[in-house]
């Protein structure tokens, strides 16, 4: 029986799109010059958690229904979901960067297209312009982390779930990731600053623990763990815990405390684990309970922003690069350029690239649905979820 707290991954949940809207706005605003007050990194962590929860829940539903997983169709759905919009962005933004004087080696193109951008940037680097304007491809690190996880997770999930080992394995991933970050922090940082580049620390040491797959998988794993829990005999107990107001207050306190604590070791090592753990309580509480928060998340404009979030995420960084090139100081002109390019690029990408892929994804077994009616009319809660 589906409970009232943990979101049902078999159906479309508008409030999850609302959360995506909040996450992408955190990222965009932080990159638009508000990084000192807006936690953009937390927005990426929230994206990871939601992805792990939804995709793992949908895979578990298929295992329950059919006794197995169609790996070919799963990977085809992932390609159709992410690759078309990303490929258009990489070509247009990459060529634009070259036109204004940037460098793009064949290996850089390859790593951006085939989900190696995080390690390429850490160990080789997408070089900026001499003026300091960043390559428009550096933010693709987050897509790389997700896809590295999903290359192996469906196979591992199918093998472990039948033996009830999926939850212990995910817990182990979360613990090992934390310990590994701790080890790397000692190896790569000298007190409060990054140590010299090289070896396992890479060329861009300050980003080593933030961008690498081997240090960020636990954010996805925490979401996957909650999906496994939702499909287990422990579901009712977990829902009671999540619905407990004290548990929600403690989770919120942990989350807010992480924003306040500026200690470098905490931010590089513990922050991702504590944020992801708090989301295990806060996201179900926000999406599964009839509350003002859920009603705000399900407002049509908020849901629309969530549905646009992937394209907005792709194009906002090119917008930042272009605005920096045209006007290197944050101001009205800079903000207008960055905002307009983000909106134009995101809207065109969504309606010209993402939505036309829906029919192909459905042929591959996806339950994705296109927008219905006005662009400000969200899909109802009874419609199936898209992957």
**What's the rounded Cα separation, in Å, for the pair 235 and 219?**
21
What phi, psi does 46 have (nearest 5°)? -65, -40
Q: What is the pLDDT of residues 222-253, one digit of tens each?
A: 999 999 999 998 898 999 999 999 999 999 99
pLDDT band at 63 (very low <50, low <70, confident <90, very high): very high
Task: Give the SS3 label for residue 190.
Answer: strand
pLDDT score of 143 more than 70: yes
pLDDT band at 375 (very low <50, low <70, confident <90, very high): very low
Cβ-contact 312, 24 below 8 angstroms: yes
Task: Give the SS3 label for residue 38.
Answer: coil
Report the percentage of the chain scoring pLDDT > 70.
93
pLDDT band at 9 (very low <50, low <70, confident <90, very high): confident
**What's the rounded Cα separation, in Å, for the pair 253 and 318?**
35
Give pLDDT, residue 376: 46
Give pLDDT, residue 276: 97
Q: What are the counts of helices (DSSP H) followed by strands (DSSP E) for the chain?
A: 18, 2
pLDDT score of 385 more than 50: no
**Token duo for residue 354:** 């993402």
Helix (H) or strand (E) holding 224: helix 213-230
- Residue positions counted in the chain: 387
pTM over 0.85: yes
Give pLDDT, residue 378: 42
Q: Which residue has the tokens 């004290």?
A: 246
When pLDDT is averaged across residues 142-168 and rounded to a whole number, the result is: 94
Mean pLDDT is lowest, of 206-210, 271-275, 355-359, for: 355-359
pLDDT score of 345 more than 90: yes
The angle at the Cα of 367, spanning 295 to 47, to the nearest 5 degrees, equals 55
């Amino acid at each position: 029986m589906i409970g009232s707290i943990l979101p049902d991954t078999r159906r479309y949940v508008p409030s999850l799109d609302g959360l995506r809207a909040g996450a992408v706005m955190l990222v965009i605003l932080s990159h638009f010059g508000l990084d000192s007050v807006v936690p953009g990194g937390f927005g990426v962590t929230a994206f990871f958690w939601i992805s792990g929860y939804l995709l793992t829940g949908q895979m578990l539903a298929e295992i329950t229904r059919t006794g197995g997983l169609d790996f070919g169709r799963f990977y085809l759905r992932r390609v159709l979901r992410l690759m078309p919009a990303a490929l258009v962005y990489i070509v247009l933004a990459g060529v634009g960067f070259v036109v204004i004087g940037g460098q793009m080696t064949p290996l850089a193109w390859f790593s951006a297209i085939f989900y190696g951008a995080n390690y390429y940037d850490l160990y080789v680097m997408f070089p900026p312009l001499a003026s300091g304007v960043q390559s428009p491809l550096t933010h693709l690190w987050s897509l790389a982390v997700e896809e590295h996880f999903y290359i192996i997770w469906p196979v591992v999930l199918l093998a472990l779930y039948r033996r009830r080992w999926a939850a212990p394995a995910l817990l182990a991933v979360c613990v090992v990731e934390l310990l590994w970050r701790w080890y790397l922090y000692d190896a790569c940082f000298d007190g409060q600053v990054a140590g010299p580049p090289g070896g396992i620390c890479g060329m861009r040491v300050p980003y080593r623990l933030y961008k690498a797959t081997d240090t960020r998988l636990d954010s996805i794993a925490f979401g996957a763990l909650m999906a496994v829990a939702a499909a287990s005999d422990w579901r009712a107990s977990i829902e009671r815990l999540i619905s407990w107001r004290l548990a929600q207050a403690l989770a919120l306190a942990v989350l807010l405390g992480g924003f306040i604590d500026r200690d470098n070791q905490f931010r590089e090592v513990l922050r991702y684990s504590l944020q992801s753990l708090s989301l295990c309580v806060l996201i179900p509480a926000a999406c599964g309970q009839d509350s003002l928060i859920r009603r705000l998340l399900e407002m049509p404009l908020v849901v629309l922003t969530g549905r646009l979030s992937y394209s907005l995420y792709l194009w906002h960084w090119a917008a930042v690069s272009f605005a920096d090139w045209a006007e290197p100081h944050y101001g009205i002109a800079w903000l207008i350029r960055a905002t307009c390019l983000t909106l134009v690029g995101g809207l065109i990408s969504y309606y010209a690239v993402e939505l036309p892929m829906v029919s192909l994804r459905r042929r591959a077994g996806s339950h994705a649905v296109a927008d219905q009616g006005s662009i400000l009319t969200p899909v109802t809660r009874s419609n199936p979820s898209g992957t």
